[in-house]
Amino acid sequence: MVLYKIMKILITPKIIEALEYAAIAHTGQKRVVTGAPYISHPFGVSLILANAGYGEDVVVAGVLHDVIEDTEEVESTIAYKFGTNVSEMVHGASEDKTIKVRAERKLNHLEKLRNSSLEVLAIIAADMLHNRYCAMLELKGGRTREQVANDTTTSEYIREGFEKMGVIQERLHNEIVIELEKVMEEIKILFAQ
């Protein structure tokens, strides 16, 4: 049952439930650079996926993509509440936080993405697009490269972004990836200034 439709965006009871679940799971978390409530990021990712025409389960997984990675929630709860398909996509999009060394965790995630479904790649592309778009706005708004790069050097931030985008581009070709390519190039220019 569709409750509301604007352009390609469909709001369904399952999407509303996912937004509420993610908002509660991310309670107290903030975006590192801006301090905005963290839920603004999963919501942004879900809007990107919905506008690209992805179905309900992919949009829900986009809302929940950081829940396993960044909260105390577990995959089995997501499977129970939202279905196995959603939980598998969320798992596929999540980094393995048991790998404590950042470089090893990022490499592991890149390898995992090489074998991921197109839906998981779309979620990762939407996640990157939202993060990089926010970074671009923050740089244009006067934040320093170091503030935006957060826990990495600025060269690592750029390199890791292009590496991940390269893995996505090998198999996924859609409007999200096209926009991500543009934003990544603009960030590269802004970081060079």
Which residue numbers are catalytic? 69-70
Cα–Cα distances in angstroms (integers) from residue 152 to residues 30, 80, 102, 146, in the given order: 18, 36, 10, 8
Torsion of CA 169, 60, 19, 12, to 10 degrees: 130
pLDDT at 4: 41
What are the structural domain ranges in the chain?
Answer: 4-192
The 8-class DSSP code of residue 10 comes to: E
Structure tokens at 66: 């950081």
pLDDT confidence tier of residue 6, bands split at 50, 70 and 90: very low
For residue 138, pLDDT beyond 70: yes
DSSP calls for 40-71: HHHHHHHHHHHHTT--HHHHHHHHHTTHHHHS
Pick the CATH number of 4-192 from 1.10.533.10, 1.10.287.70, 1.10.3210.10, 3.40.50.1820: 1.10.3210.10
- For 32-89, how does the pLDDT look when each residue is reduced to its tens digit (9 = 90+)? 777 789 999 999 999 999 999 999 999 999 999 999 888 888 889 999 999 999 999 9
Which pLDDT score is estimated for 163? Answer: 94
Whether the per-residue pLDDT at 8 is higher than 60: the answer is no
